[in-house]
Structure 1
């Protein structure tokens, strides 16, 4: 077996161990579920409001988008956060010191975060199905759409998370990114149909994967008749595949170089300096 294959195998084991540790740790699991659960409660109390031009519940329509946004946060921000944290505590430096250690490390991190993202989505689907009427989840086509949209969405956002985790030296640096994501959420058709917003906001939202991931989950979970509330009165699968695919391709082209650059800069003195900085912030 080649050294690269051994590293990939180690990454698979690492990813499974980290995934299992997270989903069996009540504290960490609650941390991932808390904010989306709050959002779902808010949408439940909005269930009597309707999407403009239809008699469909606005709360139910927004639920699919909320699941998409949570997928984005768990996958993208979660991976970026864990990479930065591992740089601060020296975990990444130890991986760098092992032959092909970075390959195994990155493989494990990406797989663990992807698994956590899927697990959180599945857990949230349970109360969604019980509390919200009108969802279209009783057909094979709905589940097939959910699977491929989620897979494509993960391919689009995980490389971006790896890039952000490589560029920022502290978790505080992610604050502007989270603010930007929240701004995009506001104009991405999650809480209100994008077609009802000004045209320039529609174009802006369609550049980023936030909108397309939410649209894909709405296509999977809502009745086909609800496409009337979307731009072009369609789920626009081809455009969805195109935009998410472009983000994924660009991400996979850029991420390896950024990760290698980050690894080259890791040293014992750099880790010590970051630890001292963290200690000063905590004091």
Structure 2
């Protein structure tokens, strides 16, 4: 990939990100889920983690921050690729010199920016609303490395799924298992409360480790006692997220290249025709 493609892609991503901050629909997508999460966590403030005096709402905040990284990176990347295959954006990028490289850089910048914006919207009020959270220099160091490694681990997954689906409406098939993973990854309650086989399955996927990494950043060390092995397992977090990152970076380019080769004017026209047929007359 040339320097020109990188620069063009970066600029394109920033333009799309700024546009998302000025569009009512996109702003609704930023604020509505955040408000819902904050209300739910506020209602949980009166409940404590079993065996501790720590608020369930305070423990859920960093867990949701971690889960939002993986969820937003996977789902938004998948939806962007699928939608832009259907409307011909991807085909137009393919027609330009190094266009696909610039396109992918732009998507990485856009999705990363959207994810960071969502995290800021959770953290800013959350630090004032919930007690017991610890904030120090190491908090921000941990947040940054978990964020960066989490994005690298999950963005390629979204790209792979986005390459596999031609119809944006079929992406809902992926949403159900992702939501199930959120529910079984210790995001809303300690994972030790779940059956052993569920704990084992959750630890295979990035969402659990993203939540654990963020809990290690914001929660006091004593709260590690309610985690598996009574530890934050930092090196295991690095290892699992790193393994997903390597696998995704190897697989995603192969899948994306195959998808790009199949794109043509006739394929875009056929998808548009099917989309028009679905519109009620």
TM-score range, shorter chain: over 0.9
Q: Deviations over 1:100-119 (max 9, x none)?
A: 11011111111111111112
- 1:181 to partner: Cα distance: 0.9
Q: Where does 1:52-201 land on structure 2 (aligned, <5 Å)?
A: 52-137=50-135, 139-201=136-198
Contact 2:38 2:122 (C-alpha < 8 Å) held by counterparts: no
- 1:281 to partner: Cα distance: 2.4
Q: Deviations over 1:227-247 (max 9, x none)?
A: 111101111001000000000
Give secondary structure in 2 for the equivalent of 1:38: helix
Q: Distance in 2 between matches of 1:145 and 1:37?
A: 25
Q: Distance in 1 between matches of 2:126 and 2:151?
A: 21
Q: Deviations over 1:27-81 (max 9, x none)?
A: 3022133224212211101101000110000111112112222222221100110
Q: Distance in 2 between matches of 1:134 and 1:278?
A: 51
Q: Distance in 2 between matches of 1:220 and 1:24?
A: 32
Runs of 5+ unmatched residues, structure 2: none
**TM-score of the pair, normalised by structure 1:** 0.96
Runs of 5+ unmatched residues, structure 1: none
Give secondary structure in 2 for the equivalent of 1:48: coil
Give secondary structure in 1 for the equivalent of 2:160: helix
- Which residue is equivalent to 2:37? 39
The answer to whether structure 1 residue 248 and structure 2 residue 245 are counterparts is yes
Give secondary structure in 2 for the equivalent of 1:54: coil
Q: Distance in 2 between matches of 1:134 and 1:29?
A: 30
- 1:280 to partner: Cα distance: 2.3
The answer to whether structure 1 residue 206 and structure 2 residue 203 are counterparts is yes
The answer to whether structure 1 residue 264 and structure 2 residue 257 are counterparts is no
- Which residue is equivalent to 2:216? 219
- 1:130 to partner: Cα distance: 1.9
Aligned residue among 234, 253, 264 for 1:237: 234
**TM-score of the pair, normalised by structure 2:** 0.96
Say what the alpha-carbon RMSD is for the aligned residues: 1.2
